[in-house]
Amino acid sequence: MIPNINLLGKEITPYMVMALIGAFVASIFACYLTKKKNEDVNETIILLLISVVGVLIGSHLLYGITNIDEIIKLITHFNKLRGFNGFVNVISYIFGGAVFYGGLIGGLIVGYIYINKKKLNKSIYYDIGAVIIPLFHFFARIGCFLSGCCYGITSNIGFKYEHSLIESANGVTRFPIQLVESCYNLLLFILLYSLYKKEKLKGLLLYLYLLLYGIARFIFEYFRGDDYRGFLFGLSTSQIISIGVVIFSIIMLITKRKKISN
């Protein structure tokens, strides 16, 4: 929807701007919640920073996996690459994009390792994570809409892109699935924060978030038109991951709930 901004010779996408705003707002809110619980804010800042590393690695890695055909081509035609620059260009193309689920999983893994290593209060930090993730995602999906990525199916109702980096998205009216998902994330944030303030489902909010997002994401995928992300057994990559996420979250909610009850 909005063309990129040229800043000091660098192309800045609307998505990058909104993602940074989302990260800033979510981080400030996480520190606020941490302070209210009398936990160490410095630990929260460090946790957020190292989780970002996991987010970046995971999001780009999963994007690369969706380009498995290109990875196979790289391996089979490796001797035809034009030197190191050619190799870098191909790698940049294969892993240049980002997938939310990859970032979510990568960030959670790194966060889990840090929380355990530092022996932080898991219940508090997991619940805070459950609250801030959809808050960040609310802003990020608006960025997707403005950049024209993660676009929707062709529709009589929607928006026509002219500046999307994905050429196939331009010139066609598309359903604004990004805005739908953004609103859903805002509702998730309101629900989870309400439960957090009332101290309900303490230590379980992260699993509740994964369950509710996983179910919704599976449905949202039917309204996405970006088929380039790959399919398996008639399902998109994110739908397959959503199934795993939903099963995992249900198991964790049941087992953790039993432990708390006992």
Q: Which of 82-96, 106-120, 133-147 has the lowest mean pLDDT?
A: 82-96
Interval 244-254 mean pLDDT: 96
* pLDDT reported for residue 66: 77
At 101, is the pLDDT very low, low, confident or very high (cuts 50, 70, 90)? very high
What are the extents of the domains in the chain? 5-261
Are 257 and 250 contacting, i.e. CB atoms less than 8 angstroms apart?
no
* pLDDT for residue 233 is more than 80: no
User: What's the pTM?
Assistant: 0.89
Q: Which of 52-56, 133-137, 170-174 has the lowest mean pLDDT?
A: 170-174
Interval 139-165 mean pLDDT: 84
Tell me the DSSP string of the chain.
--PPEEETTEEE-HHHHHHHHHHHHHHHHHHHHHHHTT--HHHHHHHHHHHHHHHHHHHHHHHHHHTHHHHHHHHHTGGGS-HHHHHHHHHHHHHSS--HHHHHHHHHHHHHHHHHHTT--HHHHHHHHHHHHHHHHHHHHHHHHHHT-S-B-EEEEEEEBSS-SSGGGBTSEE--HHHHHHHHHHHHHHHHHHHHHTT-STTTHHHHHHHHHHHHHHHHGGGB--GGG-EETTEEHHHHHHHHHHHHHHHHHHHHHHHHH-
* pLDDT for residue 85 is more than 80: no
* pLDDT reported for residue 177: 94
* pLDDT reported for residue 237: 87
At 257, is the pLDDT very low, low, confident or very high (cuts 50, 70, 90)? confident
* pLDDT for residue 5 is more than 70: no
* pLDDT reported for residue 80: 66
At 162-211, the pLDDT tens digits run 767 677 777 888 899 999 999 999 999 999 999 999 999 999 999 999 99
At 256, is the pLDDT very low, low, confident or very high (cuts 50, 70, 90)? confident
